[in-house]
Amino acid sequence: MSVPLTLLDRLWDAHEILRRDDGTSLLWVDRHLVHEGSHHAFAKLASRGMPVAEPELTFAVVDHYAPTRAGEVAPDIRRMIRTLGENARAQGIRLFDLKDPGQGIVHVIGPEQGLTLPGLLINCGDSHTSTHGAFGALAFGVGATEVAHILATQTIWQRKPKALRMVFDGTLAAGVTAKDMALHWISKLGTGGAQGHAIEYAGAAVEALSMEGRLTLCNLSIEGGARFGMVAPDEVTFDYLKDRPFAPKGAEWQAALEDWRGLRSDEGASFDREAQFDAGEIAPTVTWGTMPEEALPITEVVPDAARETLEYMALEPGLPLSEVAVDQVFIGSCTNGRIEDLRMAAKVLKGRKAKVPGLVSPGSTQIKKQAEDEGLARIFTEAGLEWAGAGCSMCVGMNGDLVESGKRCASSTNRNFKGRQGRGARTHLMSPAMVAAAAVKGHLADVRPLLEGRT
């Protein structure tokens, strides 16, 4: 009798080339995604006169420094973008640059282009590479030295994490999204709650999520300390991938489906840990502090927490979260910049005016076009928000899109660390729909009343 395997076991075994005596595995990398921050790794190879080992398996994307608004581009931003292009062209790597119709955030265009497929091992020098695990892939971020190692060998040394199955039973209420699911579990378990583990998300509420929702859930896995997150592929996955540019075609598609349907945990597989949540108990959630775990339902009040955190956020204990005024809003990022996210925000904003300024940056050029074709962009601009180009934008501010010091931003991004959106910026994380509610009200607000009667 064979031992029942988890999805993690199955994927790890398929990619393991060898294992050292200390338990560290050498893994084959199926997809290597690089962005502007990869210049150190390319320079290391150049200093040794080494070529990229498998250039057809590496894809370069302009996203972190991509300008999203009209105006003069700073010289250092131009240099970073130019350097990536030079490195990609010199090595024969497919480049999604600013002029490419497929340009966008790396963790958005990977799935969109069909580069992200079930069963693959995907690496990128970016922590939110965990996003791609939504397709039943091994996907995790790597450091600069590891980027160079992958470029040179198409392999990576990695210690296998422990397996954590996280089950969401029940059904999400109206107005509650995958972003709320993620903030909920992180607030319960803490930012180190899944440390040393790979999460397999399961349960009725996860199965009911669209691919966009699953991508959001896996994206935020690392904010709870996990190495990465995964969802077993199913018909939702396959429907999303069919006819994507880099997805298998014809007979290869049918063969791939047969393989992909076997990518799941066996009945009786043993996990190192299990966590269970009732999706019906999850409410629209917002962060109040400077860590993703510092989150509460919008119906709660600011807790009596560390003075340093409250002083940075300029909040007093006991203040209802729904009374916290905001200065601006941001909708976008690899967490929540997909078409479903924009549709949800537009549903809230349609026919209403924003009381504060805001920026909406779609996750890719294709999503931007789709949103414009569907009339979503017009809803944002008529509400008074700025419709921008595709890129990481105000999530991390490398392209110059920043929140001013002392200003408070309702944001659909992934991190509320001090200075994440700009020095002295105060960030509250929430779903795109909740960001739209904050824009309409001028303060953090429960989106559910604003969605009543809207389909």
Written as one string, the DSSP assignment of 296-363 is EETTSB--S--HHHHHHHT--TT-BGGG-B-SEEEE-HHHH-SHHHHHHHHHHHTT---SS-EEE--S
| 413: DSSP letter | S
Pick from 217, 206, 426: which is nearest to 314 by CA?
Answer: 426
Q: Which amino acid is at 17?
A: I
For 99-157, how does the pLDDT look when each residue is reduced to its tens digit (9 = 90+)?
Answer: 999 999 999 999 999 999 999 999 999 999 999 999 999 999 999 999 999 999 999 99
Task: Tell me how far apart the alpha carbons of residues 122 and 102 are, in angstroms, rounded to a whole number.
Answer: 19
Half-sphere exposure (CA, 13 Å, Cβ side) for 217?
Answer: 30
Pick from 255, 236, 245: which is nearest to 115 by CA?
Answer: 245
Mean local confidence (pLDDT), 66-75: 92
Pick from 233, 160, 158: which is nearest to 198 by CA?
Answer: 160
Q: What is the largest CA-CA distance in the chain?
A: 66
Q: Is 242 strand, coil or helix?
A: coil
Q: Is 155 strand, coil or helix?
A: strand
Local confidence band at 70 (pLDDT 50, 70, 90 cut-offs): confident
For 228-258, how does the pLDDT look when each residue is reduced to its tens digit (9 = 90+)?
Answer: 999 999 999 999 999 999 999 999 999 999 9
3-state class percentages of the chain: helix first, strand second, coil last, to nearest 5: 40, 20, 40
For 345-396, how does the pLDDT look when each residue is reduced to its tens digit (9 = 90+)?
Answer: 999 999 999 999 999 999 999 999 999 999 999 999 999 999 999 999 999 9
Q: Which amino acid is at 27?
A: L
Task: Tell me how far apart the alpha carbons of residues 118 and 238 are, in angstroms, rounded to a whole number.
Answer: 9
> What b-and-e string marks burial along 330-366, b requiring 16 or more CB atoms within 10 Å of the CB?
bbbbbbbbbbbbbbbbbbbbbebebbbebbbbbbbbb
pLDDT value at position 1? 64
Task: Tell me how far apart the alpha carbons of residues 3 and 9 are, in angstroms, rounded to a whole number.
Answer: 11
CATH no., domain 284-450: 3.30.499.10
Residue 419 has a CB neighbour count (10 Å cut-off) of 14
Where residue 126 falls (left for φ over 0; alpha for ψ -120 to 50; beta otherwise) is: beta
Half-sphere exposure (CA, 13 Å, Cβ side) for 21?
Answer: 0
pTM, 2 dp? 0.97
Element of type H or E holding 290: none
pLDDT value at position 72? 86
Task: Tell me how far apart the alpha carbons of residues 50 and 152 are, in angstroms, rounded to a whole number.
Answer: 7
Q: Is 108 strand, coil or helix?
A: helix
For 400-447, how does the pLDDT look when each residue is reduced to its tens digit (9 = 90+)?
Answer: 999 999 999 999 999 999 999 999 999 999 999 999 999 999 999 999
pLDDT higher than threshold 90 for residue 454: no
CATH class of 7-275: alpha beta
- Bridge partners, residue 443, by sequence: 325
Whether 67 and 82 have beta carbons less than 8 Å apart is answered as no
Q: Which amino acid is at 48?
A: R
Element of type H or E holding 276: strand 273-278
Task: Kindly list the domain boundaries of the chain, sorted by start residue.
Answer: 7-275, 284-450
Mean local confidence (pLDDT), 68-77: 91
Residue for token pair 């929702």: 213
Domain 7-275 and domain 284-450 have a common topology: yes
For 15-38, how does the pLDDT look when each residue is reduced to its tens digit (9 = 90+)?
Answer: 999 999 999 999 999 999 999 999
For 142-198, how does the pLDDT look when each residue is reduced to its tens digit (9 = 90+)?
Answer: 999 999 999 999 999 999 999 999 999 999 999 999 999 999 999 999 999 999 999
155-159 and 24-28 strand pairing: antiparallel
For 304-357, how does the pLDDT look when each residue is reduced to its tens digit (9 = 90+)?
Answer: 999 999 999 999 999 999 999 999 999 999 999 999 999 999 999 999 999 999
